[in-house]
């Protein structure tokens, strides 16, 4: 199975079983994935905005959380662990209703107990408006029978090899 198909299956599981993601981020689309990196996009709708009519910071924080999980999934974990730390830096407005936002998230370190991810959000003019980081405790997630970690090991020399 390709990383993209696996990440999309994990995203579908979030949509089917979570309380938050299907309500807030249902129109999020995973557009690309390879081991350690995932790209997704979201068209801003009213439910994503604050009272000023611009992208709500909580929507961005939720995408940092989900994005970190999807980056872990891109390394083959179906159960993506639990959050231990999440950070968001807001650089400018993310847009208004009708705008599209793009995100690229990477799994910067994938160890036996923790995974560290970072994410960058841009608008369609390629201007960065937010960035974030997310740390996940993954030790117990390695026990999930739906994992395909061995199948999605990155190729040697890509800079994303497993380092413990």
How does the average pLDDT of the chain come out, rounded?
93
Helix (H, G, I), strand (E, B) or coil at 54: strand
Give pLDDT tens digits for 75-107.
999 999 999 999 999 999 999 999 999 999 999
The string of pLDDT tens digits covering residues 10-24 is 999 999 999 999 999
- d(CA 3, CA 107) in angstroms, rounded, equals 13
Tokens coding 104: 């690229």
Q: What does the pLDDT read at residue 153?
A: 75
Q: What is the pTM of this model?
A: 0.91
Tell me how far apart the alpha carbons of residues 64 and 46 are, in angstroms, rounded to a whole number. 19
pLDDT of residue 155: 63
Q: Which pLDDT band holds residue 156 (cuts at 50, 70, 90)?
A: low
The confidence score (pLDDT) of residue 57 equals 97
Residue 154 has pLDDT above 90, yes or no: no
> H or E segment at 114?
strand 114-123
Distance between CA atoms of residues 40 and 42, nearest Å: 7
Delineate the domains of the chain, giving CATH numbers in brackets.
Answer: 3-143 (3.10.129.10)
The β-bridge partners of 32 are 39
How does pLDDT run across 37-84, given as a tens digit for each residue? 999 999 999 999 999 999 999 999 999 999 999 999 999 999 999 999
Check residue 161 and give its pLDDT: 44
Q: Which of 135, 137, 162 is nearest to 64 (CA)?
A: 135
């Amino acid at each position: 199975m390709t990383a993209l198909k696996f990440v999309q299956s994990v995203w579908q599981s979030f949509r089917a079983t979570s309380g938050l993601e299907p309500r807030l981020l249902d129109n999020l689309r995973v557009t690309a994935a390879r081991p350690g990196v995932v790209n997704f996009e979201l068209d801003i709708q009213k439910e994503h905005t604050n009272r000023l009519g611009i992208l709500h910071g909580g929507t961005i924080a939720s995408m940092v959380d989900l994005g970190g999980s999807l980056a872990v999934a891109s390394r083959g974990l179906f159960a993506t662990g639990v959050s231990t730390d999440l950070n968001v830096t807001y650089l400018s407005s993310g847009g208004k209703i009708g705008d599209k936002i793009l995100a690229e998230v990477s799994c910067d370190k994938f160890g036996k107990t923790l995974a560290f991810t970072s994410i960058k959000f841009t608008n369609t003019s390629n201007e960065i408006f937010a960035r974030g980081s997310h740390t996940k405790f993954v030790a117990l997630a390695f026990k999930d029978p739906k994992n395909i970690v061995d199948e999605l090991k990155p190729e040697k020399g890509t800079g994303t090899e497993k380092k413990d």
